[in-house]
Structure 1
Amino acid sequence: MRNLFISPKKLGLGVAVAFGLLAFGQTAQAANPLELNFWLSGPRYDGRVAECERALSTITYQFQEKESTFWNSPLVITGFGRIHETAFRPWQSDNIPRRYCSGDVMLSDGKMRHVHYSIIEDGGFSGFGQGVEWCVTGLDRNWAYNPSCKAARP
């Protein structure tokens, strides 16, 4: 039978000292009242999410940037139509408020496609501002919302 334990002499003095310091270290303590009340208040969502039309300029810019940067494509969105809300806070009220919207987009190649997107309260960069997640059906090239942008809908 093998000896699974190695003597401290074989491990070396440095490892033995490190193990000794860890063995006699302090235990973790609970947060004190100052730590509980200082910038740790938790989420306070008001449910104030912008209307569907407010996200269109963001979608247009991000679509052009994504297509040109990652896919070397000249496609741009030239117009929107039939924009409508599909759901608002479709799950429990404790979740992050989202407004789900859908519509049609006209692309520079002359094709009409569907767009599905959500506007998220405090979903912007580092939680500041409202964030937008979107998907154009048929152009989800990295399959982030596949199949047919189903994951971008409620």
Structure 2
Amino acid sequence: MRRALLRTALVSLACLAGLSAAEAAGGRYVAPPDRAEARIVPMYGNLPGCDDPAVLSHLSSWFDSREAKFWGPLRALSYDRIAQLGFRPWGADFIPRRFCSARLLLNNGIYHRVDYSVRENLGLFGMTWNVNWCVAGLDRERSYAPDCKMARP
């Protein structure tokens, strides 16, 4: 209880001093000219949510395509336990990303955890968002080893 009160007091003092609550809680200060919003092609962080049907459809499409082409007959059927892990966790000067995790049911009846991030301006010609993903237990080339940890914030 005392720690919570102390932290609240410190954040309040920092806000009075002109810092944001995130910076006061341990984040680093990013001057306005260095923020992603101030770039030649600005990035505002207007990303779809983790449970957006377009995001899940994009993820399913890429997963099904990869499995059919290289590994075998697995297909994504449905998602549940969808949760956001972080939004812009590295600061305001990086490309905006929304990190998510969900449980994926495959057509063989087995559930797998899928970690994915929705990234701004990394889609076709930098015009739209894109999804980067990893399915735990099916990262056969160990691109995000160990156990898809590198796909998380």
Q: Which runs of 5+ in 2 are unaligned?
A: 1-38
Q: Secondary structure at the match of 1:105?
A: strand
Structure-2 residue corresponding to 1:28: none
The superposition leaves residues 81-124 of structure 1 with CA deviations (integer Å, 9 ceiling, x where unpaired) of 10011100001200000000001001111111100000001110
Code of the residue aligned with 1:122 in structure 2: it is: N
- Secondary structure at the aligned position of 1:87 is classed as strand
Letter of the structure 1 residue corresponding to residue 70 of structure 2: F
Aligned position for 2:42 = 44
Specify the SS of the correspondent of 1:109. coil
Match of 2:6 in 1: none
Q: Find the counterpart in structure 1 of residue 107 from structure 2.
A: 108
In structure 2, distance between residues paired with 1:95 and 1:126: 19
- Cα distance in 2 for partners of 1:76, 1:95 equals 33
- Separation of aligned partners in 2, 1:78 and 1:49: 24
- In 2, Cα distance between the equivalents of 1:112 and 1:133? 19
Equivalent position amino acid for 1:116 in 2: D
Give 1:144 shift: 1.2
Partner amino acid for 2:100? C
Aligned ranges 1:13-92 → 2 under 5 Å: 42-54=40-52, 55-71=55-71, 73-92=72-91
Which residue type is aligned with residue 94 of structure 1? D
1:58 to partner: Cα distance? 0.6
Q: Larger Rg: 1 or 2?
A: 1
Inter-partner Cα distance in structure 1 for 2:78 and 2:120: 25
Q: Percent identity?
A: 41
Runs of 4+ displaced beyond 6 Å: none
1:143 to partner: Cα distance: 1.4
2: distance between equivalents of 1:43 and 1:95? 13
Alpha-carbon shift at residue 42 of structure 1 (Å)? 2.3
RMSD: 1.1
1:3 matched residue in structure 2: none
TM-score for the superposition, normalised by structure 1: 0.71
